[in-house]
Amino acid sequence: MQNECSECNASLETNQTKCAYCGTTRQNFDEQLLVELAAIKRKYELAFSRGNKLIAAPLLADEYTYILSDGGVVEEPRNKNAVLSSAGLDTNFNSYNIYNEELLERTADRVVISCVQNTVRRTPYDGEFTSYISRTKLTFVYREGRWQIAAEDCISIDEYGEVIL
Ligand SMILES: [Zn+2]
């Protein structure tokens, strides 16, 4: 992510697409969008792990669907209500990260990205940290002036990127 103008090196705001000094239009607008969407997902995951539904709920579109394929088994899709009703303070949660974001589709009000998500958890057994990694397709929709997460399609992978079977 660039925070300065490619022509005159003036510093730019995160959501600024045109330099106020020399008028250069930012070339990496897609990158800016990916940063914004990843931040929304990160905010959602942190709120969810704390059981904070007041923050988590508005980040999900009404049609939100979560699908996980884990160990070769595709679990039953879960809708927004089912997912939110399972949110509570998760003391087993350690950290969440999202990376390798790539834009797959983009229209004015709908964006699909691929990414890798890594949730690090404390095992209940020996206090060590265990990663839950997934290759994910995330769909976002733009409504009432903001992006919401509309679908999440996850496949469990190991730390080498191989699908866990
Ligand atoms: Zn400039």
Residues with CB under 5 A from ligand 1 (ion): 5, 7-8, 10, 19, 21-22, 24
Query: What local confidence, expressed as pLDDT, does residue 135 receive?
Result: 97
The beta strands (E) that lie in the chain are given as 60-70, 73-74, 78-79, 93-106, 110-122, 129-143, 146-157
Q: Please tell me the distance between residue 38's alpha carbon and the centre of ligand 1 in angstroms.
A: 26
Q: Is residue 140 part of a domain?
A: yes
Residue ranges of alpha helices (H) inside 23-107 are: 29-49, 53-56, 80-85
Q: Please tell me the distance between residue 91's alpha carbon and the centre of ligand 1 in angstroms.
A: 47
pLDDT range class, residue 28, cuts 50, 70, 90: low
Q: Please tell me the distance between residue 30's alpha carbon and the centre of ligand 1 in angstroms.
A: 19
Cβ–Cβ under 8 Å, residues 136 and 117: yes
Contacts of 123 (CB under 8 A, 6+ apart): 92, 129, 130
pLDDT range class, residue 124, cuts 50, 70, 90: low
Q: Is residue 11 part of a domain?
A: no
Cβ–Cβ under 8 Å, residues 128 and 59: no
Q: Is residue 1 part of a domain?
A: no
Q: Please tell me the distance between residue 145's alpha carbon and the centre of ligand 1 in angstroms.
A: 28
Find which of 57-61, 86-90, 129-133, 158-162 is predicted with most confidence, using mean pLDDT: 57-61
Q: Please tell me the distance between residue 108's alpha carbon and the centre of ligand 1 in angstroms.
A: 26
Q: Is residue 5 part of a domain?
A: no
Q: Is residue 2 part of a domain?
A: no
- 95-114 pLDDT per residue, tens: 999 999 999 999 889 999 99
What is the domain extent for residue 103?
29-157
Q: Is residue 35 part of a domain?
A: yes
Of residues 146 and 4, the one with the higher pLDDT is 146
Q: Note the pTM of the prediction, 2 decimals.
A: 0.81
Q: Please tell me the distance between residue 3's alpha carbon and the centre of ligand 1 in angstroms.
A: 11
The CATH number of the domain holding residue 61 is 3.10.450.50
Q: Is residue 16 part of a domain?
A: no
Contacts of 81 (CB under 8 A, 6+ apart): none
**Number of domains the chain contains:** 1
Amino acid symbol at 127: G
Q: Is residue 9 part of a domain?
A: no
